[in-house]
Amino acid sequence: MFRKLSLIAVLLATPVVAQEKAFSLKAPEILVKTGFLKHLLPRFSLKTGVRITLSDDSTEAVFGSTGTPVFASGDTVWHLSKTDGPYTDAFEKWLLSDIGKRTIEAFARDGKALFSADMTKAVVAEETVLTGDAALGEKVSLTQCGRCHVVNDSNRMNAIGSTPSFALMRTFPDWQERFETFFMLRPHPAFTQITDITEPFAAHLPSPIAPIEVTWDEVEAITAYVGSITPADLGAPLQSQ
C-alpha cells in the first residue's frame, strides 16, 4: 500500500503539462512530520487532478490556527485558510465532504485513527481563538503601530504610505500568525520589546527609533482588533488602502 502511494506521489510530482492544475500549501513542520499530508494530498490529487506542492512561502493555502476548521488531532484543531480560486476552493470542499472526511480518518497507526474530521468541537474552539480585547487592541495599534502602518481611517494621514496597512495585511491567509509574531518579523525586532518575552536590545545596538514596548496581552489585543477589521478589497488600487 505505502509503496504504491509513494509511486503515485512521484508521478504527481512530475509536471507533465505546462498549464497544470496546481497550487501551493504551507503546513507547519509538526504536521508534515506526522506523514498525514503524504496520505491526504495524493488522494485529493487523484480525485481531482489538482496537484498540491508544499511550500513555506505559500500564501495560497495554509494549514494553521485560522480559517475553516478541517481536522483535529488530539486537542489541536487544524484550520485551512486560503485565497479564493478554483483549486483551493476544491480542496476545502473536498476536505469537508464525506469522502474527504473518510480519507482524513483513514490515516491510522496501529488501527487507531490519528486525525478526526468531526468538527463539532472545533467550531467552539475557533470562537475562542481570539481572546484579546479588541477595543484595547485598537488603542495600542494606533499609538504603537500607527506611526508607520495605516491602522484605520483615523490615522490614514499620519502613517507611512509604503508600509502595508492593517486592512491589507488582514487579507493574508496567515494574518493571525503574522500579527502574533510581528516582533520577530523585520523590521520590528530592531525597535520592539515584548515585556518578559524579548531579550533587551544589545548595548551596542540600541533601538534606532523610539522603541515599541507592548505586553503579550497587548499583542493578543492587537490581534483581536485586526480580526475585527474588514480585509482590504484587493480589487481596488493599493494606493487607497
Is the CB of 124 or the CB of 184 nearer to ligand HEC?
Answer: 184
Chain positions 45 to 104 lying near ligand HEC, rule: CB under 6 A, are none
Mask for 168-207, x = binds ligand HEC (CB under 6 A): -x--------xx--x--xxxx-------------------
Residue 208 has a CB neighbour count (10 Å cut-off) of 10
Of the candidates 175, 154, 181, the residue with the CA atom closest to the CA atom of residue 66: 175
Among 168, 212, 221, 232, binds ligand HEC (CB under 6 A): 212
Cell of 90: 476544491
Decide if residue 208 touches ligand HEC (CB under 6 A).
Answer: no
Chain positions 128 to 147 lying near ligand HEC, rule: CB under 6 A, are 144-145, 147
The distance of closest approach from Cβ of residue 190 to ligand HEC in the complex, given in angstroms and rounded to an integer, is: 9
Among 148, 167, 229, 232, binds ligand HEC (CB under 6 A): 148
The distance of closest approach from Cβ of residue 180 to ligand HEC in the complex, given in angstroms and rounded to an integer, is: 9
What b/e readout covers 165-191, taking b as 16+ CB neighbours within 10 angstroms? bbbbbbbbbbbbbbbbebbeeeebeeb
Is the CB of 3 or the CB of 186 nearer to ligand HEC?
Answer: 186
Q: Any long-range contacts for 209-216 (C-beta under 8 Å, 24+ apart)?
A: 212/144, 212/145, 212/188, 214/140, 214/144
Is the CB of 44 or the CB of 177 nearer to ligand HEC?
Answer: 177
Size of site (CB under 6 A) for ligand HEC: 19
Among 40, 150, 214, 224, binds ligand HEC (CB under 6 A): 214
Residue 107 · residue 36 · CB < 8 Å: yes
Exposed/middle/buried for residue 198 (C-beta within 10 Å: 0-12, 13-18, 19+): middle
Of the candidates 61, 64, 57, the residue with the CA atom closest to the CA atom of residue 30: 64
Cell of 211: 522603541
Binding site for ligand HEC (CB under 6 A): 144-145, 147-149, 163-164, 169, 178-179, 182, 185-188, 209, 212, 214, 222
